[in-house]
Amino acid sequence: MAVRSPAHLQVNDVSVTYHHAARPALEHVTFGVPEGMRVAVVGPNGAGKSTLFKALVGLLPIQRGEILIHGVAFGAHRECVAYVPQREQVDWRFPVNVQDVVMMGRYGALGWFKRPGKHDRAIVARCLEQMGIAPLAARSIDELSGGQQQRVFLARALAQEPHILLMDEPFTGVDTTTQAATLTLLDELKTQRVTLIVSTHDLNLAATHFDRVLLLNHRVIAYGAPPQTLTSENLLRAFGARAVLIENKIVVDECCPPEEQRAESESE
């Protein structure tokens, strides 16, 4: 990792509204993340988790508020934020091989008119090895399993050498090998002081592998250390129904949807 200044992320009073929606997807969201912190974002489907990530990387405009990285407005340090979207949001039919996908993580550092050099190829090789997919380098991305595809996108994010890494539901629908590789990656990045923000439906994972939990349902319900955040009262406020834990997964009675839960999923 390159030497960098502390990557404190500050989100101040941010609201986001989709053009066809009557109410905001995010409302007055405020929280701060110190450098090297691991934050789990937890909330019901359609609560604004993906919207938050897209706003943090500039894929969605914010209607109000500000996002600060290194103490300055987002844009000045755009290249230092890497984003791993949900697999469902990616068109896997694009004809490109694994190595080329991972090399895309170097484009921000290269600029538009420079070709990858020895240094860039070395970084890509290291990231492929780190995620255990070096033997797949020449394979087309659409030939891989879901777990392998996820590891390719994680390797692409690593190749960016980010200060802040955003991961949207990286543990959903993947094999145990990919889950284990992702957890190992989280530990490695923590030692490198990379700030990690990860959305998950796994309460046990949020409680045991993260420093803080952001409980979200269009607005911040609670934010802090897991024991103070993942309380019955806060979960009831977030999910609007009895939230039960079955095999470490949040299960919500969909017959009684929370008043606050709006159709963000239709917008994403």
Confidence of residue 159 (pLDDT cuts 50, 70, 90): very high
Confidence of residue 98 (pLDDT cuts 50, 70, 90): very high
**Which CATH class, in words, describes the domain spanning 1-77+163-175+187-268?**
alpha beta
pLDDT at 240 over 90: no
- 135/115 Cα distance (integer angstroms): 24
Q: Between these two residues, 219 and 104, which has the higher pLDDT value?
A: 219
pLDDT at 43 over 70: yes
**Least trusted range by pLDDT, from 6-10, 241-245, 254-258:** 254-258
Q: Between these two residues, 243 and 267, which has the higher pLDDT value?
A: 243
- Radius of gyration of the chain from its Cα atoms, rounded to whole angstroms: 18
Structure tokens at 191: 């030692």
Please give the average per-residue pLDDT across 200-217, as a whole number: 92
pLDDT at 243 over 70: no
Surface-to-core class of residue 149, CB atoms within 10 Å of its CB (0-12 exposed, 13-18 middle, 19+ buried): buried
**Least trusted range by pLDDT, from 26-40, 81-95, 224-238:** 81-95
pLDDT computed for residue 236 by the predictor? 87
What string of DSSP letters covers the chain? Answer: --------EEEEEEEE--TT-SS-SEEEEEEEE-TT-EEEEE--TTSSHHHHHHHHTTSS--SEEEEEETTEETTTTGGGEEEE--GGGS-TTS--BHHHHHHGGGHHHH-TT----HHHHHHHHHHHHHTT-GGGTTSBGGGS-HHHHHHHHHHHHHHT--SEEEEESTTTT--HHHHHHHHHHHHHHHHTT-EEEEE-S-HHHHHHH-SEEEEESSSEEEEESHHHHS-HHHHHHHHSS-EEEETTEEEE-TTS--TT---HHHH-
pLDDT at 177 over 60: yes
Domain ranges of the chain: 1-77+163-175+187-268, 94-162
- 75/94 Cα distance (integer angstroms): 28
